[in-house]
Amino acid sequence: MLLVVFLSTCILPAISILILSINPKFDLNMEKNTDRVLSLLISSISYYLGYLLLKRVPVFPAYNVFLLGAILIQIALLPISMRWRISIHAAAIGGLVGGILGLSFRLQENPVQLLSLLILTAGLIGTSRLVLEKHTQSQVYTGLSIGFIILLAVVIFI
């Protein structure tokens, strides 16, 4: 089960991006919006394949819900990334924070230590994107908000 998640969310997208990097028109740094959109599309498809495979295996439903939420975050970022350089890193960590918060609501748990660590990590990721001058504050905050809201809603309502 974890092998399916690892293959569909890490190995398959990485191999696809590696193959794309052979093309001289594709910039591995993804400075152009078209490169970012293409990588998001590849990741979305890979995640969806993993989601379909996980649906066939009896697993804790949170795995499927988190994978579905990750797919929806990437799909939401696609049209935005065509025009604006939104922070995908911030959207990912925002989604994780929102997903864990939603899961804690559903399970009636209080994972304050985990949430504190994730919020600290989100701050470090956002700060690093700003220090490296890869994004503006609005791009980081918007990415964080989109990821948080989508995965929180998916976990709570699905």
CB 17 within 8 A of CB 28: yes
pLDDT tier for residue 32 given thresholds of 50, 70 and 90 = confident
Q: What is the pLDDT of residues 86-110, one digit of tens each?
A: 999 999 999 999 999 999 999 999 9
Average pLDDT value over all residues in the chain: 93
Name which of 66, 25, 61, 68 is nearest 44 in CA terms.
68
Assess contact for 103 and 62: CB atoms under 8 A. Answer: yes
Please choose, from the candidates 113, 5, 98, 114, the residue with its C-alpha nearest in 3D space to the C-alpha of residue 50. 5
C-alpha–C-alpha distance, residues 102 and 106, integer Å: 6
Average pLDDT over residues 16-37: 84
User: Which residues have a Cβ under 8 Å from the Cβ of 53 and sit 6 or more positions away?
Assistant: 4, 8
Where along the chain do its domains lie? 2-157
Angle between helices 12-21 and 33-55 (to 10 degrees): 150
Burial class (CB in 10 A: 0-12, 13-18, 19+), 127: exposed
Over range 14-36, report the average pLDDT: 84
Cβ neighbours around 34 below 10 Å, total = 13
Task: Give the number of other Cβ atoms within 10 Å of residue 117's Cβ.
Answer: 12
Radius of gyration of the chain (CA): 16
Residues of the chain with pLDDT > 70, as a percent, come to 100
